[in-house]
């Protein structure tokens, strides 16, 4: 037991001064798992490990409260490249299966593990598919696929009596089953004995299937670090929300026009551009709005996800349209434009891009939820500053 004066420990008053908070706030941090207190030898009061206090101090921003720095082992964005647990996402998209990549993100098991991955990772049960499909049919006929997904997730969650089991094995099993069930329940024929991309294809297009193309897209879109929807999912998981609630939180943020709607905006722009690329570009520049599907906040010179998907499209005419635009702009095609190109090349339904994005990102949200379940609960809390009227 440490004693007062031990340089490795600080008193409550010392911690409060270091963090520039009130003593009561120090104990609030203890209750939230952000600090650990120990009893001082020979006197009343608590002591706090100095190292823990310094770690917490590093998380404070302008003394407005504690803003958690999210440490993650999942995704690295570096030098215009994307890595999942140290593995190139570009390489995984063409050499690994979607089940292997999901397992890599969820458990850390390498895709080269000789034990392999269970073939039914995204397996479904007939009762679940029927329930999800019934839920999807409740929405209006003109609703988007993502609207149907949100409703189905909520209903499937309510029907799962074990949804509050947050153990890793239970969460990964539920995630695989949920994603597989959602794909099977979407309007269109149910296909079996193929990959998840193969099962999703007839829901989106009547063209000759290319399962490897959708599988690659699902892999490349599975995670992208702390995007806004992923932060929303992590905050929900920090409150120990169950997986279905975490996915719902992610879907809510994904529905924003600056996030999940991007593939649809790129699709509409390409629809204009494929008839006259220069006119479409000119009209867009005249509007003063950014060119949909070009450039990225993180990548500087290229989007590796777009590189893979456009290469898989080969010499399709839509790729020539993209090149014609890219040659006249200082930016580069991003993944939203690549998904839009796939949609045009194979005559996908117009809302397919948003749904593809949502289904893929569920894999990443699950991985981030697993990290949060292993971290202290309720660690995302900032101090609000009241700016309204006072009496």
Is the confidence at residue 118, as pLDDT, over 60?
Answer: no
Among 57-66, 71-80, 105-114, 288-297, the minimum mean pLDDT is found in 57-66
The pLDDT, as a whole number, for residue 198 is: 95
- Residue 92 tokens, joined: 């995984």
Q: In what order do the strands lie in the sheet with 81-84?
A: 75-78, 81-84, 87-88
Confidence of residue 114 (pLDDT cuts 50, 70, 90): low
pLDDT, tens digit (0-9, with 9 covering 90-100), for 301-350: 999 999 999 999 999 999 999 999 999 998 999 999 999 999 999 999 99
Residue 18 has pLDDT above 50, yes or no: yes
- The closest alpha carbon to 68, from 224, 247, 231, belongs to 231
Residue 349's pLDDT is what? 95
250, exposed or middle or buried, with CB in 10 Å at 0-12, 13-18, 19+? buried
Structural domain boundaries in the chain: 9-63, 79-379
Given a cut of 50, whether residue 15 has pLDDT beyond it is yes
pLDDT value at residue 61: 41
47 token code pair: 């002591």
Q: Picking from 28-37, 55-64, 85-94, 322-331, which range would have the lowest pLDDT averaged per residue?
A: 55-64
At residue 64, does pLDDT exceed 50?
no
Quote helix, strand, coil % in the chain, to nearest 5: 50, 5, 40
Q: Determine contact, residues 81/203, Cβ cutoff 8 Å.
A: no
**For residue 119, what pLDDT is reported?**
58
9-63 classified as CATH 1.10.260.40:
no
Q: Are 234 and 372 within 8 A, CB to CB?
A: yes
**Domain 79-379, architecture per CATH:** Orthogonal Bundle (1.10)
C-beta of residue 342 within 8 angstroms of C-beta of residue 348: yes
Average pLDDT over residues 160-189: 96
- Which pLDDT band, with edges at 50, 70 and 90, does 127 fall under? very high
Residue 139 pLDDT: 93
Q: pTM here?
A: 0.82
Please give the mean pLDDT across all residues of the chain. Answer: 89
pLDDT at 42 over 80: no
Mean pLDDT of 243-266: 88
Query: Among 14-18, 135-139, 161-165, 360-364, whose mean pLDDT is lowest?
Result: 14-18
Name the nearest CA neighbour of 122 among 79, 175, 75. Answer: 175
User: What pLDDT score does 261 carry?
Assistant: 75
pLDDT at 48 over 80: yes
Say which residues have a Cβ less than 8 Å from residue 110's Cβ, sequence separation at least 6: 87, 104
């Amino acid at each position: 037991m440490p004693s007062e004066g031990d340089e490795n420990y600080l008193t409550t008053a010392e911690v409060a001064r270091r963090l520039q908070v009130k003593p009561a706030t120090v104990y609030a941090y203890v209750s939230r798992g952000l600090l650990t207190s120990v009893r001082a030898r020979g006197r009343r009061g608590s002591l706090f490990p100095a190292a823990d206090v310094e770690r917490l101090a590093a998380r404070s921003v302008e003394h407005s409260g504690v803003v958690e720095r999210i440490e993650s082992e999942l995704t690295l964005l570096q030098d215009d490249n994307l890595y999942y647990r140290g593995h190139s996402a570009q390489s995984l998209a063409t050499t690994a299966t979607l089940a292997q990549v999901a397992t890599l993100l969820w458990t850390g098991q390498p895709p080269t593990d000789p034990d392999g991955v269970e073939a039914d990772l995204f397996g479904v049960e007939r009762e679940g598919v029927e329930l999800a499909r019934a839920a999807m049919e409740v929405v209006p006929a003109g609703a988007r696929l993502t609207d149907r997904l949100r409703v189905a997730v909520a209903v499937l969650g309510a029907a799962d009596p074990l949804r509050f089991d947050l153990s890793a094995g239970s969460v990964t099993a539920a995630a695989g089953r949920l994603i597989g069930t959602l794909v099977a329940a979407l309007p269109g024929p149910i296909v079996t004995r193929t990959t998840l991309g193969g099962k999703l294809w007839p829901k989106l297009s009547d063209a000759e299937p290319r399962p490897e193309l959708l599988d690659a897209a699902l892999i490349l879109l599975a995670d992208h670090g702390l995007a806004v929807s992923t932060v929303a999912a992590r905050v929900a998981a920090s409150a120990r929300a169950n997986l279905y609630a975490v996915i719902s939180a992610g879907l809510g943020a994904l529905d924003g026009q600056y996030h999940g709607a991007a593939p649809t905006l790129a699709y509409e722009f390409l629809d204009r551009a494929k008839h006259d690329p220069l006119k479409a570009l000119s009209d867009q520049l005249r509007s003063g709005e950014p060119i949909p599907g070009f450039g990225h906040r993180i990548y500087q010179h290229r989007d590796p996800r777009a590189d893979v998907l456009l290469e898989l499209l080969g010499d399709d005419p839509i790729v020539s349209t993209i090149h014609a635009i890219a040659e006249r702009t200082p930016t580069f095609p991003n993944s939203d434009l690549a998904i839009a190109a796939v949609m045009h090349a194979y005559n996908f339904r117009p809302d397919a891009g948003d749904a593809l994005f949502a289904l893929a990102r569920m894999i990443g949200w699950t991985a981030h939820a697993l990290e949060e379940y292993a971290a202290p609960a309720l660690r995302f809390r900032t101090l609000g500053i009241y700016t309204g009227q006072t009496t």
